[in-house]
Amino acid sequence: GAVVSQHPSWVICKSGTSVKIECRSLDFQATTMFWYRQFPKQSLMLMATSNEGSKATYEQGVEKDKFLINHASLTLSTLTVTSAHPEDSSFYICSARAGGRGTGGGYTFGSGTRLTVV
């Protein structure tokens, strides 16, 4: 089945630094990927839709200059949290649609990245 690999699985960074999270579709091409953020005991909140070869579409309230998304190829999207602050500490999850190769309409999720900003 379709597999989405997310890296790193966890990261600790100092306040003010930037962190990059990678999301790769391993056995399929994904023109569209999605980035979510999840705080403890809360549901997934969609941050942005990443489109290959074009600018990402951000949800209302999400700062595009803080959460930089690059979707340079059909198998890789990256989320960079710039000038991270403790309030950015969260669980970040990516998702991609594998078309008929996946299940649930083809949406497959990565395993998530736990970001802790100290």
From residue 61, give the alpha-carbon distance in Å to each of 58, 67, 77, 94, 95. 8, 11, 21, 18, 20
Q: Which residues have CB under 8 Å from 61's CB, separation 6+?
A: none
Residues that bind other proteins (CB under 8 A): 4, 6, 31-32, 34, 36, 43-46, 49, 91, 93, 95, 97, 99-100, 102-112, 114
Nearer to other proteins, 75 or 95 (CB): 95
Q: What angle do CA 64, 66, 72 make, to 5 degrees?
A: 65
Nearer to other proteins, 42 or 83 (CB): 42
- Nearest one of 87, 69, 67, 76 to 110, comparing CA atoms: 76
Nearer to other proteins, 66 or 114 (CB): 114
Shortest Cβ 26–other proteins spacing (Å): 14
Shortest Cβ 86–other proteins spacing (Å): 19
Nearer to other proteins, 38 or 82 (CB): 38
Shortest Cβ 32–other proteins spacing (Å): 4
Strands 10-13 and 19-25: unpaired
Shortest Cβ 54–other proteins spacing (Å): 13
- Nearest one of 108, 115, 50, 38 to 76, comparing CA atoms: 50
